[in-house]
Chain A
Amino acid sequence: GEDVEQSLFLSVREGDSSVINCTYTDSSSTYLYWYKQEPGAGLQLLTYIFSNMDMKQDQRLTVLLNKKDKHLSLRIADTQTGDSAIYFCAEMRGSARQLTFGSGTQLTVLP
């Protein structure tokens, strides 16, 4: 299909790991991104991965890319209450290199 897909909700306990999944559609996407949106705020770039990489680690964040299955995941280690937000994956498409976003995953971190 044409859509970038994400599950809508994820709840985890504080201190646990969170894994947010995404499937994308364009096999020619060069970069894939994760953005975070806190309530009433804009989109904060969290991390990105280049399409020739399988994994990227950045402090508590680990991005895994399975290009064959067009599957992207974001793992947040030691999840904190401040990580509660909506997480969007996005792929870059088209001549304008515009971003196509998933619907966002609402992460709730329980104490």
Chain B
Amino acid sequence: DSGVTQTPKHLITATGQRVTLRCSPRSGDLSVYWYQQSLDQGLQFLIQYYNGEERAKGNILERFSAQQFPDLHSELNLSSLELGDSALYFCASSVGSTGLGETQYFGPGTRLLVL
């Protein structure tokens, strides 16, 4: 158990809908990362937050957004869902300091199926 929690574990929804994925980082970690794992794209970095502020964006679609709250939990919002958004979405957290503090610990993931 990495100490990173994600809810829900599974999500089934229809095209055009909007969903929210939630992540709680390990105790003491300030940095949260979101990754998408799909069969065709592999594991891809989406976005990072550090202590409530967006720090970097990767291959994140404009239909997707995220935020990190004062209690450091994070939410990833996916809207106007398409079939191709079906994937496993991982959250990872790190202390956020340089060196070993950058090591990322992953949650169990949320499996999203868009029908």
| Across-interface contacts of A44 in B (CB, < 8 A) | 2, 106
Do B108 and A42 have beta carbons less than 8 Å apart? yes
Is there contact, CB below 8 Å, between A88 and B56?
Answer: no
Most A Cβ at <10 Å: residue of B55, B94, B99, B104: B104
Number of residues on chain B facing chain A (CB within 8 A): 23
Check A45 against B45 for contact (C-beta < 8 Å).
no
Task: Give the complex CA separation of A52 and B108 in angstroms.
Answer: 31
A95 within 8 A of B: yes
* Band of interface residues on A: 20 to 34
Given contacts A94-B56, A96-B48, A104-B42, contact A42 B33 (CB under 8 A): no
Chain A residues within an 8 Å CB radius of B92: 43, 99
A95: B residues at CB distance < 8 A: 55-56
Residues on A with C-beta less than 8 A from B42 are 101, 103-104
Residues of A within 8 A of B105 (CB): 45
18 residue pairs A–B, Cβ–Cβ below 8 Å: A33-B104, A42-B90, A42-B108, A43-B92, A43-B106, A44-B2, A45-B103, A45-B106, A94-B56, A95-B55, A96-B48, A96-B58, A97-B102, A98-B33, A99-B43, A99-B92, A99-B104, A100-B45
Contact surface of B with A, Cβ cutoff 8 Å: 2, 33, 35, 42-43, 45, 48, 55-56, 58, 90, 92, 94, 99-100, 102-109
- Residues of A whose CB lies within 8 Å of any CB of B are 30-31, 33, 35, 41-45, 48, 88, 92, 94-101, 103-104
